[in-house]
């Protein structure tokens, strides 16, 4: 997803950079997040961490588990719990596709990036992924190093 340069509302809040290293991502889905007011204000100020979080389908609803949103200092009285389960908003068809992927195909739902979209709404991009084995991780690392070295050689000789 390209960042709109002229749009002041678009802002990446948190990114799970290890997800692409640890998982082979087949597809991704953008979904909304059901947040409290203090959570939105905290996201605009400080940020969040989705590195050790995951998504799951329970009782016909999609949930984000173990994500961290820092407490909002000005809203201590009616604040939020920093690691609570947050409901994710998707269509029924997308929810059934996600459930089928996790139950039948042995896939997992990994949060990739949390951001404010062009309208200023908090969104989460979830990847439908399969865990990589150690050999696959080594192969990815070797491929990345080779591409880096190849680019360096082309720059020197080109």
Query: Residues 6 or more apart from 58 whose CB is under 8 A from it?
Result: none
Taking only the tens place, the pLDDT of each residue in 3-15 is 556 677 788 888 8
Question: Residue 76, exposed/middle/buried by CB under 10 A (0-12, 13-18, 19+)?
Answer: exposed
Taking only the tens place, the pLDDT of each residue in 124-137 is 999 998 887 777 77
Q: Quote the mean pLDDT of the chain.
A: 85
- Model pTM score: 0.77
């Amino acid at each position: 997803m390209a960042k709109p340069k002229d749009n002041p509302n678009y802002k990446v809040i948190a990114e799970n950079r290890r997800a692409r290293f640890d998982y082979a991502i087949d597809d991704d889905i953008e979904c909304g997040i059901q947040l409290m007011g203090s959570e939105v204000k905290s996201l605009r100020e400080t940020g969040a961490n989705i590195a050790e979080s995951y998504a799951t389908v329970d009782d016909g609803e999609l949930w984000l588990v173990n994500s961290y949103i820092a407490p909002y200092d000005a809203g201590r009285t009616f604040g939020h719990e920093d690691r609570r389960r947050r409901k994710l908003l998707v269509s029924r068809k997308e929810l059934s596709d996600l459930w089928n992927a996790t139950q039948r195909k042995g896939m997992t739902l990994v949060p990739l990036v949390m951001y404010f979209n062009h309208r200023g709404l908090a969104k989460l991009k979830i990847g439908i992924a399969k865990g990589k084995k150690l050999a696959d991780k080594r192969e990815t690392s070797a491929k990345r190093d080779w591409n880096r070295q190849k680019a360096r050689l082309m720059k020197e000789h080109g």
